[in-house]
Amino acid sequence: AMAGCGWARSVRGLLLDVSGVLYDSGADGGVPIAGSAEAVRRIKASGLKLQLCTNETQATRENFVRKLRALGFDISVAEVTAPAPAACRLLKERGLRPHLLVHDDLVPEFAEIDKTNPNCVVLGDAAENFTYANLNEAFRLLIGMEKPVLISLGKGRYYKETDGLKLDVGAYMKALEYACDVQAEVVGKPAKRFFESALAELGVPPEQAIMIGDDIVSDVGGAQQCGMRALQVRTGKYRPSDENHPLVKPDAYVNNLAEAVDIILQQL
Amino acid sequence: AMAGCGWARSVRGLLLDVSGVLYDSGADGGVPIAGSAEAVRRIKASGLKLQLCTNETQATRENFVRKLRALGFDISVAEVTAPAPAACRLLKERGLRPHLLVHDDLVPEFAEIDKTNPNCVVLGDAAENFTYANLNEAFRLLIGMEKPVLISLGKGRYYKETDGLKLDVGAYMKALEYACDVQAEVVGKPAKRFFESALAELGVPPEQAIMIGDDIVSDVGGAQQCGMRALQVRTGKYRPSDENHPLVKPDAYVNNLAEAVDIILQQL
């Protein structure tokens, strides 16, 4: 699967997508993908650095890590790069006071942020909070601004849960973009700045890092745009048609995270 | 306002937008625009043909006409061209069986249409029916089709009601377009085919018809694309900045429908 991957010899750190790589998500909390918990342990034992790079916005990092640990993953909060903390840094830098249209469980991530008299809207995967009333409220705030500022935590089209496919934040982002004639600023994969944050937290330059993900565009394409190598796993949202993607070609395919780690550790 | 409008001499019929031209809409039923009911009577007395050309999708034509009559307008059902009946013709022509995501009050317009085992989605201004569950349901049906067919009753960005601005059907159309990677087929203004239906019902060729509307793009631009003259009223959603629109220039501006009718009748 990774013939000619001599470049893997120079690797010093791995960025891992979470949903579809470590576990399959669902309303029931999700199930680990076979071999992934052991693979995380082997990465750490090898001395390679590791950082999770996720677009998860339905929970604080604390609760997200609690869930991962319950599923058997040896992960700490500092090892998670997620959109909400990145958005908080951006809000502070630019003096922005957000109106939040996000999942209830994400709200504590914005505890330190001034939310009075909003001058921007932050949109996450709000799930059940995507009501007609809440969408109209966010829209009215935006259209009432002299220059509307819409910050979107990711731009995914949809995702799969145990009870079926769900529209992701990107669909609602497009609705507000069209209604307000504005372009959202995306915080999360595949934004270059977000990968750069994850690399900074990993402490490794892009040419010595490998991204491993299941999303051909957001994970693989986004990481390659930042100068990283990127592997696509054949788990999660992977589809065979991804291997004919017109624009993005992974540096290698692997059946799952366990196989990726096998091959990378053999090169070291 | 209409200096040099000698072309109005050849006019034989008028297409009128409704909301913002005849009345201002609202949850309370709306209020007539001063002089508009009298203007409709004068058009009819003059022998000019008249057809309402509306993107209204929150009521059947029967109920819509009942509301207009209660507001003082002498209008019959046959004088209304609206998206739902046009969509029904399209569905029948192409053997399409719709899943409806529309306002409850619009559903009777589709009474004659086979809705079993849907092979397309018809999207209207569903208002309170734009719930998270309903949007996910429409999305799942579309993404499950070999070639998704999304028919949108108009593509408006937003509209104003007495209790504030509301997202219009176009915003939800964009959400589903993005999630399913599909382009919606728009039935309603500004689609050329919709104006052509209205002209057929008016019984007048485009060069002898005038469109009167408050929407610079959907009413004025759409009608001009069909070879009609088009006037913009300074009522409804008209904004002074419309007069600097980069792409669309009305054949004339008028303060309201009453003034438009004054001037047109003077030319005859």
**Same-domain pairing of A35 and A111:** no
Q: B174, A175: Cβ pair inside 8 Å?
A: yes
A120, A149 Cβ separation under 8 angstroms: yes
A197, A262: one domain:
yes
Same domain, B67 and B197: yes
Q: Is the residue at B2 inside a domain?
A: no
- Does residue B222 fall inside a structural domain? yes
Minimal CA separation from B209 to chain A, in Å: 31
> A187, A217, A233: which is the final residue of a domain?
A187
Confidence of residue A254 (pLDDT cuts 50, 70, 90): very high
Same domain, A30 and A75: yes
What percentage of chain B reaches a pLDDT higher than 70?
97
Asked if the Cβ–Cβ distance from B174 to A172 is below 8 Å, we say no
pLDDT category at A268 given cuts 50, 70, 90 is confident
Cα–Cα distance for residue pair B8/B209, rounded to 1 Å: 9
Residue of A nearest to B134 (CA): A131
Q: Do A179 and B167 touch (CB under 8 A)?
A: yes
Among the candidates B187, B221, B236, a domain finishes at B187
Q: Which of B142, B168, B187 is the last residue of a domain?
A: B187
A120 & A204 share domain: no
Taking CB atoms and an 8 Å limit, are A171 and B158 in contact across chains?
no
Count Cα neighbours of B50 within 13 Å in the Cβ-side half-sphere. 22
Task: Verify whether the Cβ–Cβ distance A139 to B127 is below 8 Å.
Answer: no
Q: Are residues B153 and B176 in the same domain?
A: yes
CB < 8 Å to A168, chain B: 179
**Burial (Cβ within 10 Å: 0-12, 13-18, ≥19) of residue B78:** exposed
Claim to verify: residue B100 and residue B71 sit in the same structural domain: no
Residues B47 and B164 in one domain: no
Confidence band of B123 (pLDDT split at 50, 70, 90): very high
Give A120 to chain B, closest Cα distance, Å: 18
Q: What is the CATH number of the domain that holds B157?
A: 3.40.50.1000
What is residue B9's predicted lDDT score, i.e. its pLDDT? 81
**Confidence class for position A1, pLDDT limits 50, 70, 90:** low
ipTM of the complex: 0.91
Q: Going by DSSP bridges, is the β-strand pair B31-32/B23-24 parallel, antiparallel, or unpaired?
A: antiparallel
- Give domain status of residue A147, yes or no: yes
Contacts of A94 (CB under 8 A, 6+ apart): none
**Alpha-carbon span B257 to B233, nearest angstrom:** 7
Q: What pLDDT, in 10s, does the model give residues B21-35?
A: 999 887 677 899 999
Specify the pLDDT at position A209. 97
Chain B contact residues (CB < 8 Å to A): 127-128, 130-132, 135-136, 139-140, 143, 157-158, 164-168, 170-172, 174-179, 181
pLDDT in tens, B199-245: 999 999 999 999 999 999 999 999 999 999 999 999 998 989 999 99
Residue A43 lies in a domain: yes
Range with the poorest average pLDDT among A23-32, B99-108, B194-203: A23-32
pLDDT digits (tens, 9 = 90+) for A154-194: 999 998 777 788 999 999 999 999 999 999 999 999 999 99
B62 C-beta neighbours (distance < 10 Å), count: 11
B155 and B112 in a common domain: yes
Mutate to test the interface with A, among B135, B159, B173, B177 (most CBs of A within 10 A): B135
Residue A127 falls inside a structural domain: yes
pLDDT band at A124 (very low <50, low <70, confident <90, very high): very high
Query: What single letter denotes the amino acid at residue B98?
Result: P
How much of chain B, in percent, has pLDDT values that exceed 90? Answer: 89
Reply yes or no on whether the pLDDT at B126 is more than 90.
yes
Average pLDDT over residues B60-68: 96
Report chain A's terminal Cα–Cα distance, integer Å.
Answer: 17
Contact B157 A179 (CB under 8 A): yes
In a domain, B16, yes or no: yes
Query: Are residue A21 and residue A142 in the same domain, yes or no?
Result: no
What backbone torsions phi and psi does residue B165 show, to the nearest 5 degrees? Answer: -75, 145
Greater model confidence, B159 or A127: A127
Mean pLDDT of chain A: 94
Average pLDDT over residues B182-188: 97
One-letter amino acid of A196:
E
In this prediction, residues A216-222 reach a mean pLDDT of 96
What integer pLDDT is reported at residue B91 of this predicted model? 98
Task: Please say if the pLDDT value at position A3 is more than 80.
Answer: no
Instruction: Tell me, yes or no, whether B5 lies in a domain.
Output: no
The answer to the question of residue B3 being in a domain is no
Contact A132 B130 (CB under 8 A): yes
Nearest to B136 among A140, A167, A181 (CB): A167
- What is the pLDDT, as a whole number, of residue A207? 96
Q: Do B176 and A171 touch (CB under 8 A)?
A: yes
> Given this model, what pLDDT does residue A180 score?
96
As a whole number, mean pLDDT of residues B152-165 equals 87
Between CA A232 and CA A254 the distance in angstroms is 6
Distance from CA of A173 to the nearest CA of B (A): 8
Cβ distance of A130 and B128 shorter than 8 Å: no
**Residue B202 to residue B214: CA distance in whole angstroms:** 20
Residue B161's DSSP bridge partners are: B164
Cβ–Cβ gap B179/A167 under 8 Å:
yes
pLDDT score, position A12: 96
Its domain, for residue A19, covers 10-82+189-266
Q: What's the gap in Å between the CA of A176 and the closest CA on chain B? A: 7
Mean pLDDT of A235-243: 92
> Which one of A22-31, B156-165, B256-265 scores highest in mean pLDDT?
B256-265
Q: What is the pLDDT of residue A28?
A: 76
Residues of chain B with Cβ-Cβ distance to A143 below 8 Å are 158, 165
Count of structural domains within chain A? 2
* Residue found by looking up tokens 């909390």 in the block: A29
Name chain B contacts of A136, Cβ cutoff 8 Å.
Answer: 164-167
Does B126 share its domain with B243? no
Q: Which helix (H) or strand (E) holds B186?
A: strand B185-187
- What pLDDT, on the 0 to 100 scale, is given for residue A2? 58
- In a shared domain, residues A44 and A163: no
Which of A2-16, A57-71, A89-103, A175-189 bottoms out in mean pLDDT, i.e. has the lowest?
A2-16
Average pLDDT over residues B83-100: 97
Total residue length of chain B: 268
Beta-carbon contacts of residue A179 (< 8 Å; ≥ 6 apart): A139, A142, A143, B157, B158, B167, B168, B170, B171
pTM of the complete model: 0.91
